[in-house]
Amino acid sequence: MSVAPAIPANGSLEERARRALDQKTKPPGSLGVLEEVAVRLAGIQQTLAPVLSVKRLCVFAGSHGITAEGVSAYPGSVTAQMVLNFLAGGAAINVLARHGNIGVHVIDVGVDGEWPAGLENTPHFFIRKVRAGTRNTLREPAMTSAECDQALEAGREQVRQAVADGVQVLGLGEMGIGNTTAAAALYCGLLGFDPVAAVGRGTGVSEAGLRRKVEVVEGILRRHAPGDALGEGAGRYWLESVGGYEMAAMTGCILEARALRLPVVVDGFISTAAAAAAFDLDPASREVCFFSHRSEEAAHGAALKALRVEPLLDLKMRLGEGTGAALAMHVLEAAAKILCEMATFESAGVSDAAEAAGASSPAACL
């Protein structure tokens, strides 16, 4: 491992990191997005030697009352069943987390279901149930203000614990049958999307199911249309009105991560909706967020564009659970190692472009 170069202590950490990268044995900017990621990590961790070796992914789970309207190909009971699968280590996110040496926390913030006796003692499982699922948002708001606060706090708690445990990067994942409908409604409310453009197939609904989802989201928006302009309160209003407890928890994660300077990797369609709410509540929270991938779910690409962010990957995925975040963590860690471990022209004894130009100039031959 090469020692980080001595960089003049003037300018921001980001500026100093750029200068450090320009001294590495490569043409300036030739590692593209990796360099931008490295610069951002240096700024977040306030060091020219950022480290992301301790990684954790939080999977927040919650049920959705909107499933009563036939918006999913799967019954709502699958949410609880998948939580058990996570805890047994059999889900896609478990496989990818093991592959990447990523710890996994599973948090029940609103699952409609009873857990087997003793499950509360399972390591890395947190029961923070606000309620047994949100309400049917076609009929009433998803949650009360107090419930939203409780869900936000469940997310904030995970960030505080991560920092106390020495975690250096946190990924966000979720599980909740019906949550693509909730996320689509949140995008419509916060970003002004049309329901036809915002609604996708989610768990794989048929053409008839897709039409039903669009109708439901249209009805949700009519039901919750605010009478007056919301201004800075839009994120909170739409989260309470149409969101999910797992989405509110991820929003809380992002807000606390910004306060504690912890890099956060946002997963896909659902997690990005939570990020949209966080950005409305605290615009500076975008500083700690890295967007893992572009989901195949309808409107995710448009949402990323509306939020003015670029995803690191595009693997045609649409599973959720934090699978995209788990994969993108490899990219973040690689970027940090480029800044920390790559040799400089000076340390490697390699001529840089300026040196080469100087050697070939007439003045150099005098």
Q: What is the pLDDT of residues 274-319, one digit of tens each?
A: 999 999 999 999 999 999 999 999 899 999 999 999 999 999 999 9
Q: Residue 191 — pLDDT band, cuts 50, 70, 90?
A: very high
User: Cα 229 vs. chain centroid, distance in angstroms?
Assistant: 28
User: How many Å from the N-terminal Cα to the C-terminal Cα in the chain?
Assistant: 39
Q: CA-to-CA distance for 248 and 252, rounded, in angstroms?
A: 6
Task: For residues 21 and 17, give the distance between their C-alpha atoms in angstroms, rounded to a whole number.
Answer: 6
| pLDDT tier, 141 (very low <50, low <70, confident <90, very high otherwise) | very high
pLDDT tens per residue, range 302-361: 999 999 999 999 999 999 999 999 999 999 999 999 999 999 988 878 877 666 555 443
- Kindly report the pTM of this predicted structure: 0.92
Q: Which helix (H) or strand (E) holds 173?
A: strand 169-175
321 is catalytic: yes
Which run of H or E residues covers position 16? helix 13-22
The 10 Å CB-count burial string (b at 16+, else e) for 48-64 is bbbebeebbbbbbbbbb
Asked whether the domain spanning 55-330 has the same topology as the one spanning 13-51+338-365, the reply is no
The pLDDT of residue 357 is: 57
Active-site residue (options: 69, 174, 240, 321): 321
Of the pLDDT bands very low, low, confident and very high (cuts 50, 70, 90), residue 2 is very low
Averaged confidence pLDDT in the chain? 92
Type of residue numbered 297: E
Q: Which fold would CATH assign to domain 13-51+338-365?
A: 1.10.1610
Domain ranges of the chain: 13-51+338-365, 55-330
The class level of CATH for 55-330 reads: alpha beta
